[in-house]
Amino acid sequence: MSRKEPCGICAKPDWCCRGEKGWNCMRVESAKVCKNGGWFHPFENARPAPPPLRNPMKQPKPKPPVDCEEIMDQWRSRTTPAQMDAMSRALGVSAQALDWIGAAWAEDRKAMAFPMFVTACHDGVEDYAPCGIRLRAMNGAKFAVDGSKSGIFYPYRGYVHFTTRRIYVCEGPTDLAACLDLGLMAIGRASCRGGEGFILNALSQVGARECVVVCDNDGPGLNGADALLAQVPIRKTKFVPPGKDLRSFVKDGGTAEIFEAMLDNVLPTVGKLLPAARDLHPTAE
C-alpha cells in the first residue's frame, strides 16, 4: 500500500495489503480473519477509490504595482549628456530623437530605458503616465521592468500635436527614433505582433489619414505588418526598408529623400498617399 494506492477498506497507506480476491485490512474487522492478521474483505465490499493526491500548488504572491512614471523620472534625472551620447552612438540614432521618445540610461540595470504609453495624445488626458518600460542592454539584449505592460512608443517630449496626416508605424523604440531622424512623424509598436488596438487608437487620436507600416524584412515582421494593416481603416501600405531594419538603413547613410523615393515604388498598390510632411515641431518643455 502507499499514499497513491491506499487500502480499499480503511483508506490507510500502510499495514494492509491487497490479494487476488480482496483486501487484507488490518484495521476494519470482518467475518473472516486472515492467517497473517487482519480481516479479509472481498473487492466488492471496497469503498470507492479516493481521488489521487495532488500537491497543492502555492499561489504566487501578487506583485505590487509598478510606478513606471516614477522610475522613468528617476532614471531621466540621473542620465547625463555623455550617457545620452553613448546611447546615440551605440544605436546609430541622434540623441535628440532619443530624448523625444523619453529614453534614459538605467544605471542600476545597465541598460537603456524606453517608456511605453497606452495613448499617443496627452492633450486633455489626466493620467498620461507610462504603462511599461522596455530595457535594452548595450549588447542588444532586450528585457523589461517587472510589472510593465505593453503599449506604444511615442515622441511625447517636446511635442504638442502631430503635424502631418501621414503616420509611420515602426517596430520598437530604436526604429522609431530612426524614423524621427528622417523627419517623419511616427509611433512605435512594442513588437512586430500584437498591440493592434493601441496602434488603431493612436492613429485615431492623432487624426491620421494615412498609415505606413515600416517592418523588418523577415517572416515575423512581414506577417505582423499584414495583421496590423488588415485592421487599419484608413489608406495604408507597408514598407520594408533595405537591410535588417529602418535603423540599419539610417546607420548606413539612408536619407529621407531615398526613403521616400523607395516608398513611391509601393504606393501605386494603394493609391498615392499625401505628400510627406517632414515638419516635426519641437516645442519648449
The yes-or-no verdict on residue 183 having pLDDT over 70 is: yes
The yes-or-no verdict on residue 232 having pLDDT over 80 is: yes
Average pLDDT, the chain: 82
The CA–CA distances, whole Å, from 207 to 51, 129, 213 equal 60, 21, 16
The pLDDT of 247-272, averaged and rounded, is 75
Helix, strand or coil for residue 40? strand
pLDDT number for residue 274: 55
Contact 239, 226 (CB under 8 A): no
The yes-or-no verdict on residue 218 having pLDDT over 80 is: yes
pLDDT classification of 65: cutoffs 50, 70, 90: confident
The yes-or-no verdict on residue 193 having pLDDT over 50 is: yes
Q: Each residue of 3-21: pLDDT tens digit? A: 777 887 887 878 788 888 8
Least confident of 72-81, 133-142, 160-169: 160-169
Q: Each residue of 99-128: pLDDT tens digit? A: 999 999 999 999 999 999 988 765 555 457
Q: Which domains does the chain have, with CATH numbers?
A: 1-53 (no CATH), 68-269 (3.40.1360.10)
The yes-or-no verdict on residue 136 having pLDDT over 90 is: yes
pLDDT number for residue 123: 55
pLDDT number for residue 56: 60
DSSP state of 28: S
Handedness of CA 198, 201, 203, 206 (dihedral sign): negative
> Rounded to an integer, what is the distance from CA 88 to the centroid of its chain?
24
